Amino acid sequence: MRNRKYDPDFKREAVRLVVEEKLSIRETERNLGITYGVLKGWVQKHQDFQDAAFVG
């Protein structure tokens, strides 16, 4: 199985859906086709590093 690379803008938008729109992580992963568990890491990284989390 191949590791998929996600664009920083895609990651920011996915995290925004969880943080600002209050969608669940599981629902957002399903809607965007993200592998289970990946978005949780992105949200944690965002909480730890804010704007510097997904630099280009």
Q: What DSSP state is assigned to residue 23?
A: -
Which pLDDT score, from 0 to 100, does residue 2 have? 64
- For the chain, the structural domain boundaries read 8-52
Residue 55 has pLDDT above 90, yes or no: no
Which pLDDT score, from 0 to 100, does residue 3 have? 75
For residue 8, the Cα-to-chain-centroid distance in whole angstroms is: 9
- β strands within the chain, DSSP E: none
Task: Determine contact, residues 24/42, Cβ cutoff 8 Å.
Answer: no
Residue 1 has pLDDT above 60, yes or no: no
Residues 6+ apart with CB under 8 A from 25: 18, 39, 40, 43
pLDDT tens by residue, 19-53: 999 999 999 999 999 998 999 999 999 999 987 88
Considering the entire predicted model, what is its pTM?
Answer: 0.86
